[in-house]
A and B are shown apart, each in its own frame.
Chain A
Amino acid sequence: EDQVTQSPEALRLQEGESSSLNCSYTVSGLRGLFWYRQDPGKGPEFLFTLYSAGEEKEKERLKATLTKKESFLHITAPKPEDSATYLCAVQEGGSNYKLTFGKGTLLTVNP
């Protein structure tokens, strides 16, 4: 059973059309939930860390929120340059800072 599930797998938006990506998780003892962006041929690029339910973080057109079971990445008025795969990862308590990743959401924003 997957510990981190992202939906949808793929999302196509028109420029300016706001939407949300979902990340649900089942780990216990959450140390942190991370959002990364991955462009083709590149490594994941860090966006946000959320630590506790109710927390929100914002960066330009992106806003991440966290509840006890899921996180949302809200994209407001997206632009074509926001097209990428968005990865969600959770980190459990313990001595290893291992990230358990979801499979990602491929976002395409058409001009």
Chain B
Amino acid sequence: EAQVTQNPRYLITVTGKKLTVTCSQNMNHEYMSWYRQDPGLGLRQIYYSMNVEVTDKGDVPEGYKVSRKEKRNFPLILESPSPNQTSLYFCASSPHNQPQHFGDGTRLSIL
């Protein structure tokens, strides 16, 4: 089954404790992206990757890092999480210039 898989689905952690949210897709898509969804603000792009080893900032990249060492994986790294990064996170993937397919989300709570 074609899918975008995120882990974990839920995480409660504390300020400053490094964490990684993994994203994996099995559709051989070139493009991958991370979004965060907040009430009243909608979905906003954090980082994106056009292909392996090619990443760039989206609209709200502060406090996040990404890497794209393999085509299927695009982890989101929070080196020193803060409470304002409490949010619902979505990973998406697509072939170039095609509709993006989204994972089921990761709900992060940072205390």
Contact = CB atoms under 8 A, between A and B. Distances in A.
A41 B104 contact: yes
Nearest to A45: B102
A97 B58 contact: no
A42 B99 contact: no
A96 B56 contact: yes
A84 B94 CA distance: 23
A97 B54 CA distance: 14
A15 to B, nearest CB: 28
B50 A95 contact: yes
Contact of B45 (A45, A95, A99): A99
B8 to A, nearest CB: 14
Given A98-B33, A99-B43, A103-B42, A46 B101 contact: yes
B30 to A, nearest CB: 10
Interface string B10-42: 000000000000000000000101010000111
Interface in A82-104: 87, 89, 95-99, 101-104
Interface of B: 4, 31, 33, 35, 40-45, 48, 50, 56, 58-59, 90, 92, 94, 96-97, 99-105
Interface of A: 31, 34, 36, 41-46, 49, 87, 89, 95-99, 101-104
Top 3 closest pairs, chain A to chain B, by CB? A43-B102, A101-B43, A103-B42
26 contacts: A31-B97, A34-B99, A36-B102, A42-B104, A42-B105, A43-B92, A43-B102, A43-B105, A46-B100, A49-B99, A87-B42, A87-B43, A96-B50, A96-B56, A96-B58, A97-B94, A97-B97, A97-B100, A98-B33, A98-B59, A99-B45, A101-B44, A102-B42, A103-B40, A103-B41, A104-B42
